[in-house]
Structure 1
């Protein structure tokens, strides 16, 4: 039992390739999920600022439901609940869907705040030049809003990277799952989980520095 609380440098060196593999899976799942989250979030964000009551209501309901429920519960619903209606998914696709839907809700609020940060006169000027609403959004509002929300999107990516550890509950062999498997086989908890933490830090610290640099460079605010 004493070994559980001891750091074993030899074990640490031996498990580095396994931890690196888990980190690569974590990064892959996060990148795929943030990509789809951006698509979902952009659409929902536009719905949140729409004058049409139907897309506004649908987008608002989606954002409130997803932000008001734990990500872990959403993962379990997608993986264990969907088979009840005939939709059977492998762990990785289920995990990506859950992360994408969750991330999309937060990105929707970031997009909404970014659009609303642009003076209304910009839209009026674009419409006065003969642009349609969508053209004004694409060529005038969105480029300015994206500049404002870029740091917040970076923060969402970092948050999603850490939250992906919850996918271990549906047997996805990402970084946290790898650490748990090593603990189960070596009966040493300190060494593997310290390694897991270090790998997360190696991924999140550079991203955090990049976000901080972009905030300073662009002089933008952080959407909360």
Structure 2
């Protein structure tokens, strides 16, 4: 009969909490930078410049149709062959940004194209500049429309970040693997990691719900 022993996990909880913090920090940075990439990619895809649209299409299709594990291996192990070297943590961040940027580009592109043309024409009639039309008339309504899909992608990004442990990047999964190598309490460690990732997902969901109420909810009429 297996004897459960959570004492090694309790004794090393500070290591796991530090790993959880690193996962949160890595995920937030990747989300912020990935959102910028997504917006720029969506602008390029909806523009009339054919070479730009073609390049973005290639980028999106390559990333969406290859495994994330292969992508991170290519960045960390492949690029040094052509003189581009980076630390494990930097490679993890770059891989996550590139990955979420491709998926986010398609999500935001769909949101931009969902904005009625009449709203854009109304903005022009009011004398708004193209930049203000895009910011207030196109981008914000588009983000409101696709906000649930975008936040789901970001939560998936946080869970996917556990893969970066394969290149020894510092995160929660890596901390768990290190602890498992020291104590061999695999069941207890990975049970706790499962719970911690679940709680992180709930935390991000709550954060995104607050952001939605603050920025994407119409004020109640009186």
- Note closer, same or farther for the CA distance 1:6–1:163 as it changes in structure 2 (3 Å cut): farther
1:55 aligns with 2:52: yes
* Residue ranges of structure 1 left out of the alignment (5+ in a row): 220-224
Among 54, 64, 68, the alignment partner of 1:67 is: 64
Structure 1 residue 154, shift from structure 2 partner? 1.6
Distance (whole Å) between structure 1 residues aligned to residue 46 and residue 119 of structure 2 = 15
RMSD of equivalent CA atoms: 2.3
* Structure 1 counterpart of 2:177: 180
Aligned pair count? 217
Kept in 2: contact 1:19–1:199 (CA 8 A):
no
Between 1:161-170 and 1:106-115, the stretch displaced more is: 106-115
* Structure 2 counterpart of 1:117: 114
1:204 aligns with 2:201: yes
Paired residue secondary structure (2:86): coil
Structure 1 residue 211, shift from structure 2 partner? 4.9
What is the TM-score of this pair, normalised by structure 1? 0.88
- Note closer, same or farther for the CA distance 1:210–1:25 as it changes in structure 2 (3 Å cut): closer
Distance (whole Å) between structure 1 residues aligned to residue 204 and residue 27 of structure 2 = 13
Among 97, 100, 109, the alignment partner of 1:100 is: 97
- Note closer, same or farther for the CA distance 1:60–1:132 as it changes in structure 2 (3 Å cut): farther
Paired residue secondary structure (2:12): helix
Distance (whole Å) between structure 2 residues aligned to residue 169 and residue 183 of structure 1 = 14
* Residue ranges of structure 2 left out of the alignment (5+ in a row): 218-222
Structure 1 residue 33, shift from structure 2 partner? 1.0
Q: Describe the superposition over 1:81-128 as per-residue Cα deviations: whole angstroms up to 9, x where unpaired.
A: 110110111101111000000010111111111111111111222233
Kept in 1: contact 2:31–2:100 (CA 8 A):
yes
Q: Describe the superposition over 1:115-162 as per-residue Cα deviations: whole angstroms up to 9, x where unpaired.
A: 111111112222334445433212311121122222222212211110
Distance (whole Å) between structure 1 residues aligned to residue 26 and residue 211 of structure 2 = 24
1:135 aligns with 2:132: yes
- Note closer, same or farther for the CA distance 1:54–1:158 as it changes in structure 2 (3 Å cut): same
Distance (whole Å) between structure 2 residues aligned to residue 206 and residue 89 of structure 1 = 31
